[in-house]
Amino acid sequence: MPRKKVTEGNGRPSGKKRSAGKKRGRDDFSSDDDLDLDGSPASDSGPNHKRASKAGAKSPTGIAAIVVTEPEHSKEKIKLEGSKAKGRLLIFGATNWDLIGRKEVPKPQAAYRNLGQNLWGPHRYGCLAEIQVRTVASGPVSAHSLLITTEGKLWSWGRNEKGQLGHGDIKRVDAPKLVDSLKDEVFVHGACGRNHTLALTENGSVYGFGENKMGQLGLGNKTDAVCSPALILYNGQPITKVACGAEFSMIMDCKGNIYSFGCPEYGQLGHNSDGKYIARAQRIEYDCELVPRRIAIFIEKTKDGQVLPVPNVVVRDIACGANHSMALDSQKRVFTWGFGGYGRLGHTEQKDEMVPRLVKLFDFPGRGASQIYAGATCSFAVNEMGGLYFWGATNTSRDSTMYPKIVQDLCGWKVRSLACGKSSVIVAADESTISWGPSPTFGELGYGESKAKSSTTAQEMKTLDKIYSEHVAMGYSHTLVVARDETEQDGERLKKLPEYNPRTL
């Protein structure tokens, strides 16, 4: 049977104690700010990174192409190229950053309680009138966002209680703002966790900032908040892709190795452990990975339960949900691991997986995957033929899909970019932008003020009719679109959209 109901709080066996401060359930995305782990403050600059790479190493799907290789005293440099997109940023959904995913604004942020409305249709940011955007990033459990301009400058905005915007403070920022301390770097890619951020430069270095109490910044220590960008502790091959889960992170190097760090609670780090140990007073605590650690083994499970290693895995793309991870390799195989609730791993069972496990459906000639995406409690893949597959659950009160199934509503569409928030999905395909998600929504589907606010089936966004979406990203309950702006016609259509100029204190 493909469908099962999830019971006992998302499949967790009852009777297990959790550590103090980790009170939320596995997929409760509200912020938990009641646990401070002492640690020495992270320095603002990491070690000097030694990098080496063979000329002509292949690039991962859709992110970076290595275009320059210069030998220099046995050390070879790389230069990554990010997305070729060039357009304007559009935003819709919830913009009251301190309230997202919470019943009320926390006391220290009370002054901001009434700042930021729900935008029911696409808006342009007034402050970005002259800014050409290359790419945007947020995450299914994030109330903050990044954008990278065509010059490679990094901007950030949103919730900032842990310094996840990298501006050196913990003040909320309502409209995109340049990360000043990194203005001399050129960025190609970024990722957002619940309260932390990773940003990748064109030479393969990674900066981290925000919450680090589970080691998710890879700085070698645990700190409540790192407000200024710091280089992660890593001196291997240049990095070509970064991804963030709720409280963990993943990086991929140009050789196709992946490294993970942060919270290991459900095996999402892929190191064959959930990191649990019994601390004082019978409390369960977690042995977090404080620096990037390479994932060493990939497996498949046979029908009769045998576990076999999968050799020659060269990873080309990575994606992280709230508590699960995905990888796509050079042979178009998909691996998933971490928390198995709601069937999000696609293995027809809800067991947590401690190491990357092969998803059988894509392991056939002509049926391999070309793209992967992770939502908070679900997963997506596009196969070689262009079919979009889904597994897991977006609406956790309904039945779950326990293994990859084709999304019938999108048969025949060529998916270019996809993003998933807490429960909503947006897709850029062909000339259209398509979205769907169950109630309650906050405008992240972008249907407009007078239209239905939610939809259980995929709907074309009429509000973006004749506007070409280059790239889409979604946070917990807000959506970002890079809309093409190359011709006069493009510009005229974009000018017809309303402008958003947030009120500030």
Number of H helices, E strands in the chain: 2, 38
**Would you say the C-alpha torsion 288, 295, 196, 370 has a positive or negative sign?**
negative
Are β-strands 334-338 and 324-329 bridged in parallel, bridged antiparallel, or unpaired? antiparallel
How high is the pLDDT of residue 26? 52
* Buried-exposed string 348-379: b where 16+ CB fall within 10 A, e elsewhere: eebebbbbbbbbbbbbeeeebbbbbbbbbbbb
pLDDT of residue 4: 42
pLDDT at 5: 39
Domains of the chain: 3-88+131-420 (2.130.10.30), 89-130+421-505 (no CATH)
Q: Is the pLDDT of residue 456 over 60?
A: yes
Give the pLDDT of residue 14: 36
Give yes or no for residue 294 having a pLDDT over 80: yes
* 70: pLDDT strictly greater than 70: no
Cα-based distances in Å from 355 to 268, 269, 345: 8, 8, 12
Q: CB of 107 within 8 A of CB of 160?
A: no
Instruction: Please tell me the predicted confidence (pLDDT) of residue 27.
Output: 57
Residues 6+ apart with CB under 8 A from 412: none
Q: Has residue 425 got a pLDDT over 70? A: yes
Is the pLDDT reported for residue 287 higher than 90?
A: yes
pLDDT (0 to 100) of residue 396:
85
On the question of pLDDT at 65 being above 50, the answer is no
pLDDT of residue 46: 36
In this structure, the dihedral spanned by the alpha carbons of residues 140, 424, 326 and 90, taken in order and rounded to 10 degrees, is -70
* Average model confidence (pLDDT) across the chain: 88
Output the pLDDT for position 504: 81
Average pLDDT of span 104-129: 93
Confidence label for 84 from pLDDT (cuts 50, 70 and 90): confident
User: Is residue 159 pLDDT above 80, yes or no?
Assistant: yes
At residue 83 the predicted structure's pLDDT band, cuts being 50, 70 and 90, is confident
**Per-residue pLDDT tens over the stretch 296-322:** 999 999 999 899 999 999 999 999 999
Residue 425 tokens, joined? 């999905």
The closest of 431, 439, 440, 429 to 407, measured between CA atoms, is 429
